[in-house]
């Protein structure tokens, strides 16, 4: 299965569905001060998570790689931090259609109720947060530390069954 995922990732790279050159890990660059809406239409800001490590997952409806990352998050990564309230998992949909986003939330394929589910207010991949990190497709992951500094804009992509899951977990634990 891991070989299939590597082939899929390679295909995505060929199509340009990857991040631009990543920001270096360990830099003390401030994270982009995002503003997104939650399922109740309330604006959620980076500053609302002061003192928390943020694990942000960017996805869109129909993305098979996004489903795989969500599975790794739900089955392996999130349980590792279930007793640690200083780690917050945030799901950011790049869907443009609000109703499509709501249907995808209910499906449970891309996210769960254990994540903070946010919407780019219909801006999708043109949202300033997504553009700031020079992302050009999904899935994408973003890690932010407790002081709102960037941990990584391109951490190891956690796919089920891949060694990158353990690297991903270690990177979060390193910043606890």
Cα distances (angstroms) measured from residue 152 to each of 26, 28, 107, 134, 175: 8, 10, 29, 13, 11
Q: Which two tokens stand for residue 169?
A: 């977990």
- Check pLDDT > 70 for residue 13: no
Q: Give the pLDDT score at 28.
A: 80
**Alpha carbon distances (Å) from 165 to 71, 121, 160:** 11, 30, 7
* pLDDT value at 11 more than 90: no
pLDDT score of 99 more than 70: yes
> Where do the domains of the chain lie, and which CATH numbers do they carry?
27-174 (3.40.30.10)
How many CB atoms are located within 10 Å of the residue 165 CB? 20
User: CB-based contacts of 37: which residues, under 8 Å, 6+ apart?
Assistant: 43, 44, 118, 119, 121
Placement of tokens 């340009």 in the chain: 16
Residue 19: the pLDDT is 37
Residues 118 and 38: beta-carbon distance below 8 Å: yes
pLDDT single digits (tens) 31-85: 999 999 999 999 999 999 999 999 999 999 999 999 999 999 999 999 999 999 9
Q: What is the mean pLDDT of the chain?
A: 88
Q: Judge contact between 141 and 155, C-beta under 8 A.
A: yes
Using alpha carbons, list the distances in angstroms from residue 51 to 55, 75, 86, 141, 174.
13, 25, 7, 19, 15
């Amino acid at each position: 299965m891991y070989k299939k995922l590597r082939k899929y990732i390679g295909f995505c790279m060929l199509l340009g569905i990857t991040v631009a050159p990543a920001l270096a890990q360990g830099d003390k660059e401030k994270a982009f001060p995002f503003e997104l809406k939650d399922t109740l239409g309330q604006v959620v800001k980076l500053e609302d998570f002061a003192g928390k490590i943020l694990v942000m997952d960017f996805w869109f409806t129909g993305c098979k790689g996004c489903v795989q990352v969500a599975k790794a998050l739900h089955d392996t990564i999130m349980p590792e931090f279930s007793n640690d309230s200083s780690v917050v998992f945030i799901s950011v949909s790049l869907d443009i259609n609000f109703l499509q986003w709501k249907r995808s939330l209910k499906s449970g394929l891309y996210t769960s109720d254990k994540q903070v589910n946010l919407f780019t207010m219909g801006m999708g991949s043109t949202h300033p947060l997504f553009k700031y990190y020079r992302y050009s497709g999904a899935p994408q992951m973003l890690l932010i530390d407790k002081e709102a500094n960037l941990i990584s804009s391109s951490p190891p992509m956690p796919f089920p069954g891949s060694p990158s899951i353990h690297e991903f977990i270690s990177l979060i634990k390193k910043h606890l």
